[in-house]
Structure 1
Amino acid sequence: MTEDTSKLNTSKLGTKKYWDDFYTLEHSNFQSNPEDTGENWFDDNDAELKMIQFLEEHLHEQPGLKSNARVLDVGTGNGHLLFELREEEVFDEEAEFVGVDYSEVSVQFAKDIAVEKELDVRFEVLDLYDDNSGKDLGLFDVVLDKGTLDAIALSGLTFEEGTAVELYSSKVAKYMQAGSVLLITSCNFTEEELIGYITREPTLEVWEKIQYGSFEFGGVKGQTICSVAFVKK
């Protein structure tokens, strides 16, 4: 039985105020030094690099993984993942990259970086749990999440239909079409837990997994981070 990690201790990392304050500071640092574009989350595990390599290696293996894909980064923060994808030219120039976040401060920060880097990446404010938010974004071929579900789990938010974690996959699936790929990386959930939560949405099924270095403790093997790709049926 999958442990309900969403009911573990909440943290300030799950609050909008924390992220607004965090990106206010990072934006200020960037304005003083345009080369300082902020934190690259999970850098110690090379998660971002592995996500990019995965997309490149599996291009055209699913309908959504096409050269001119529409790519959505959920909880984009400073937009680092999308900037790297654009600079590495994993997709064609015609591909559309959109980063969304519920922090207006992070969105403005990412927009300013895009201008400085002269990169074609769009950023919009979006609250996944507000049904009136992001209605004009349309559908995407690829959806990315690097640590966003982790932060959501720390919020402790609960709605009539269930916890924010339990509802996450249905909220994300609204922006996907048949053949679209969701690639998600987590450090708070085990691979089994992550799969359990995402497949609560019946249209999403496991496709592939990214391998990371593992550890062994008490005879049990595991890894500190996991990345799983899902495809929408």
Structure 2
Amino acid sequence: MDTTKLNHSKLGTKEYWDNFYKLEKENFAENPDDTGECWFADSGAEEKIVDFVFSNLDPNVSICDLGTGNGHLLFEILQEGWKGQLVGVDYSEASVQFAKTIAKTNDLNVEFYQSDILNLEDQFLKTNAGNFDLVLDKGTLDAIALSDNLYDGKTGQEVYPDTVKILLKKNAVLLVTSCNFTQDELIKVITASGNFEVWKTVEYPVFEFGGVKGSAICTVAFRRR
């Protein structure tokens, strides 16, 4: 049984995320302090990601955040002192508009674009080939794995490593955080195409159940070959 194949869910649909971020934008309009959901907050993932990025990369290099949502991760990186280009992309136009609104309201220098990075004809993908030193993914591959969309007969998670590598310079880094895959499963998905190799991992608290040890979340850094 291939445990990297997940059951389809509404969380894998564009309609769900369009509606989700439309509501978050409306909430923000009523209360500018409400900048929306911070995914994986319970596990402290965002803090660990930010710490990893600053500890392992030059703060002058370019970053692209896939499935950026409300842009929260990029805003945190910027406010910690990042100097390089920060770009967020999402296939939900509602998400992009929400993130742009937050950035404009708070005068934050982060760019946001609508993009379906699984589509080889996507304009953002074409115009940014080899542009980034680091690509971030906090839960986006999780959502892709829950979708029933096909790309030339392949699932989104099968296509993902091939299309994401286009955005990265050679030897650049893809940092993926997942709550749906174990660390071993995530490594299997990303390295299957041969475009990436494991570079480093981020440590999270370990629990034991039924004699098996594991974490509720994992973050793995891959190098683009």
TM-score (norm 2): 0.95
Letter in 1 for 2:128: L
1:68 offset after TM fit, Å? 1.5
1:136 offset after TM fit, Å? 1.8
**Contact persistence 2:40–2:46 (CA under 8 A):** yes
Letter in 1 for 2:149: L
1:159 offset after TM fit, Å? 2.9
Letter in 1 for 2:212: V
- Give the alignment of 1:54-133 within 5 angstroms: 54-59=52-57, 66-89=58-81, 91-92=82-83, 95-133=84-122
Distance in 2, matches of 1:131 and 1:167, equals 10
SS in 2 for 1:77: coil
Query: Do structure 1's residue 205 and structure 2's residue 197 form an aligned pair?
Result: yes
Match of 2:18 in 1: 20
User: Could you list the runs of 4 or more consecutive aligned residues of structure 1 that deviate by over 3 angstroms after TM superposition?
Assistant: none
**Contact persistence 1:161–1:167 (CA under 8 A):** no
CA RMSD, Structure 1 to Structure 2 (Å) = 1.2
**Contact persistence 1:3–1:193 (CA under 8 A):** no
Distance in 2, matches of 1:4 and 1:154, equals 13
1:73 offset after TM fit, Å? 0.1
Aligned residues: percent identity?
Answer: 52
> Structure 1, residues 179-211: CA drift from partner, whole Å, max 9, x if none?
211111000001011000101232311000000
Distance in 1, matches of 2:224 and 2:120, equals 21
Match of 1:137 in 2: 128
> Structure 1, residues 200-233: CA drift from partner, whole Å, max 9, x if none?
2323110000000011111110111000000112
**Contact persistence 2:200–2:220 (CA under 8 A):** yes
Distance in 1, matches of 2:87 and 2:3, equals 31
Any stretches of 5+ residues in structure 2 without a counterpart? none
1:18 offset after TM fit, Å? 0.3
> Structure 1, residues 102-139: CA drift from partner, whole Å, max 9, x if none?
00010000000001111100000000122221122342
SS in 2 for 1:174: helix
1:3 offset after TM fit, Å? 2.4
Distance in 2, matches of 1:67 and 1:9, equals 38
Aligned residues: 222
Letter in 2 for 1:5: T
1:166 offset after TM fit, Å? 1.2
TM-score (norm 1): 0.92
Distance in 2, matches of 1:203 and 1:150, equals 19
Any stretches of 5+ residues in structure 1 without a counterpart? 60-65
Letter in 2 for 1:117: N
- Give the alignment of 1:107-186 within 5 angstroms: 107-133=96-122, 134=124, 135-138=126-129, 139-186=131-178
Distance in 1, matches of 2:15 and 2:115, equals 16
Structure 1 stretch 156-165 or stretch 180-189: which is displaced more?
156-165
SS in 1 for 2:127: coil
